[in-house]
Amino acid sequence: MTTLTIVSFLMGVTLGQRFKVMVLMPAMLLVPGIWIVTGIAHAQSAWAIAFMVATAAACLQIGYIVGIGLRHILSTRSSSLPSPATAAKHAAP
């Protein structure tokens, strides 16, 4: 179960850093399919599979929000830093 949450969270972070919100639609359709097949292969009960799907979906969405936040922080940090040419121009007397 821990692996499930970590993998789903990291997938969400990756999607959040690279794509727009529309990528969550196919991802949210793909995640339940993957974990339902995994639950059936491990002979788990229907409640356990439903819990796995809900946990994976929640972790994917939380990871997506964290990924968007990281993208925003990195973009504002890189825009606030001076470029090397500007820094050299201001450093030279």
Residue 21 domain-assigned (yes or no) = yes
Containing structural domain, residue 52: 2-68
What sign does the dihedral 24-28-34-39 (CA atoms) show? Answer: positive
Residue 87 domain-assigned (yes or no) = no
26-78: pLDDT as tens digits = 888 888 888 888 888 988 898 988 998 899 889 988 999 999 888 888 888 76
Residue 80 domain-assigned (yes or no) = no
Domain count, the chain: 1
User: Is 93 or 74 the better-scoring residue by pLDDT?
Assistant: 74
pLDDT, average across residues 80-85: 60
Residue 45 domain-assigned (yes or no) = yes
Whether the model pTM is above 0.75:
no
Contacts (Cβ under 8 Å, ≥6 apart) of 53: 31, 32, 35, 36
HSE (CB half, 13 Å, CA atoms) of 75?
8
pLDDT tier at 89, thresholds 50, 70, 90: low
